[in-house]
Amino acid sequence: MILKVGDKAPHFSSKDIHGKNFESQSIIEKKVLVLYFYPKNNTAICTAQACSFRDSYQDFQNLGADVIGVSSDDVASHQEFANKFKLPFLLLSDESQEIKKKYGVSSHFFGFLSNRITFVIDDDGIIQMIFDSVLGKNHISKALQKVKELINIKNNKT
């Protein structure tokens, strides 16, 4: 299944860095969500991307949005990665690749690594942006710009 802008974001469940169950219903349709898929913890581009999201995290929070990172790394790897780089946002383990499949995130690079894709989902649960680029740092500015647009649209309606 390939998702596109305007589609309803699929719900999912996963384990967070503490091994606790996370249900997407706790965020999707409640607030703006930046959901980003990345290939692997502790690789150069993925680390730079995560640290860029970390450095801009307060900007997202100030706009009422949250950030979640997803990769197929296990819970222990996520915990070590989050602690090492002081990541304030949620990382989810998708070892079964169920979330990746629901969001249509394909594997490339001989089927070993996932694409690097960011989804911005509005507070109605509708996908408003899909950004696919191997350049990890570009995801943050694109997502932040889209979140600002969504907030401006919402504020102009009230």
Active-site residue, from 35, 46, 120, 150: 46
Q: Is residue 5 part of a domain?
A: no
Q: Is residue 4 part of a domain?
A: no
Question: Among the listed ranges 12-21, 30-39, 99-108, 116-125, which one has the minimum average pLDDT value?
Answer: 99-108
pLDDT number for residue 108: 57
Q: Which residues of 10-38 are buried (b: 16+ CB within 10 A; e: fewer)?
A: bebebbbbeeeebebeebbbeebbbbbbb
Q: Residue 110's domain is classified under what CATH number?
A: 3.40.30.10
**Using 50, 70 and 90 to split pLDDT, how confident is the model at 156?**
confident
Average pLDDT, the chain: 90
Q: Is residue 62 part of a domain?
A: yes
Residue 125 pLDDT greater than 70, yes or no: yes
Q: Is residue 21 part of a domain?
A: no
Q: Is residue 48 part of a domain?
A: yes
pLDDT number for residue 136: 67
pLDDT number for residue 1: 64
pLDDT digits (tens, 9 = 90+) for 30-80: 999 999 999 999 999 899 999 999 999 999 999 999 999 999 999 999 999
Residue-number span of the structural domain to which 153 is assigned: 28-157
Percent of the chain with pLDDT over 90: 78
Q: Is residue 13 part of a domain?
A: no
Query: Is residue 46 annotated as a catalytic residue, yes or no?
Result: yes
Q: Is residue 19 part of a domain?
A: no
Residue 112 pLDDT greater than 50, yes or no: no
Whole-angstrom CA distances from 41 to 46, 51, 81, 105 are 6, 11, 6, 17
Q: Is residue 17 part of a domain?
A: no
Say which residue the tokens 């780089």 belong to. 85
Please provide residue 98's backbone torsions phi and psi, each rounded to the nearest 5 degrees: -65, -45
Q: Give the residue with greater pLDDT, 71 vs 157.
A: 71
pLDDT number for residue 86: 98
d(CA 68, CA 94): 12
For the chain, how many structural domains are there in total?
Answer: 1
